[in-house]
Structure 1
């Protein structure tokens, strides 16, 4: 059976508080005053524990909440007309899930836990009301939406101007930078997703991903052993991606 089936979400409700969260400085309360964070706390009654392989929501589900990732890794994906999965993103602690549903009030994609994780549900209707009273909260929400747009544009650039090796290099560099912001190593980390999922996200076949891993290793940039990633030359990896951007501008 595929690792992600129509399994119902299995949750455990736990008491939550934004003010004591370890990813406070990366999430929706960023820059809010103590009093403003306390008002946001009133919307988040509990955090939800999601088991690996289970769905948080599915495409077509009505929008009820946005979900701030507190722990773990998630992926979002859609199904093509022939039933194949297309991965649209990977989300980690401090990022928001569910933004895809704001325009139509229906989720356009499904969200799955790649490992045991925790999210903080934020009821969207109440969040909108509170944002009207707190301009700083509205500003943060706008920044998060803008960040998603920029990420989508970056993905289009990768697909349009990068070869396969460059796409994988950009993907690893993106993970490295995001993990570094959270206090983790920028040079050694674990891939929570399968190679097939990386290929789906980057628009590459599994065999191409395997060849790219070998190419980056032979160039002395990265070693990937199973799910363990070791970046040997971080600056070289950055130059590899920057070289593609420079060529695209010429």
Structure 2
């Protein structure tokens, strides 16, 4: 667990204050009153810094905390039966890690920092008690769990009905929208993950990802140079993704 791994994680000595956090509107405290945010604040003893490449928690570790990503970027992954890594998601600031552990009190995947990051640990037993006292907090937890289910449904649609180019377009569009919600450019951004990790997440081989990048470039939709992404035609990219639904109706 992250709390006991002092060699990998450096603990921030400053107290975390939710009310002054830059991602307050995207995180667990959204919609809470000032008093409720202060009570939630008491659960976070300290922020935890996670170096790039460090594992925050591993599959099978007992659930102790949920983690709100304050800064940085993570990927979650599991190992397939043949030992290969299967990426299950990418999480950025304002999003939660560890929700998959609630069902059986153990984390169902590995969480790895893709860049130097910082998280706010929320001890789950204390969070449950506080949520019992604060219906608004319980409502937010329920919404987060529902969002996880919706993301799973979206992933099934992505893998089941989209071709390779559409999958990549949907992935880029999703990142664009999430970054834009955080005040960043929706058309120019840097990928924190490599193409192999993207391929794993989308169920595509590395060479297929490279071909799809070339196809999107040829269509003047997206220009990708290394990890730098420039969306050239945002409406066209959206149309490419929404057009996939027509395939299922034919």
CA drift at 1:81: 1.3
Report the RMSD for the aligned CA atoms in angstroms. Answer: 1.3
Q: Tell me, yes or no, if structure 1 residue 36 matches structure 2 residue 36.
A: yes
Counterpart of 1:9?
Answer: 8
Counterpart of 2:166?
Answer: 166
Measured in 2, the distance between the counterparts of 1:12 and 1:142 equals 29
- Provide TM-score, normalisation by structure 2: 0.96
1:1-250 aligned within 5 A: 9-14=8-13, 15-249=15-249
Cα pair 2:11 2:46 within 8 Å, conserved? no
Residue correspondences, number:
245
Q: Secondary structure at the match of 2:70?
A: strand
Cα pair 1:67 1:122 within 8 Å, conserved? yes
Are residues 36 and 80 of structure 1, via their aligned partners in 2, closer, same or farther at CA, if it must alter by over 3 Å?
same
CA drift at 1:85: 0.1
Measured in 1, the distance between the counterparts of 2:235 and 2:132 equals 44
Measured in 2, the distance between the counterparts of 1:118 and 1:173 equals 25
Counterpart of 2:3?
Answer: none
Measured in 2, the distance between the counterparts of 1:138 and 1:205 equals 40
Measured in 2, the distance between the counterparts of 1:151 and 1:80 equals 20
Cα pair 1:87 1:201 within 8 Å, conserved? yes
Counterpart of 1:3?
Answer: none
Cα pair 1:8 1:55 within 8 Å, conserved? no
Measured in 1, the distance between the counterparts of 2:186 and 2:33 equals 30
Measured in 1, the distance between the counterparts of 2:216 and 2:109 equals 32
After superposition, give the CA deviation of every residue in 1:26-48 in whole Å (9 maximum; x if it has no partner): 00000000000000000011110
Where do 5+ consecutive residues of structure 1 fail to align?
1-6
Measured in 2, the distance between the counterparts of 1:144 and 1:246 equals 30
- Provide TM-score, normalisation by structure 1: 0.96
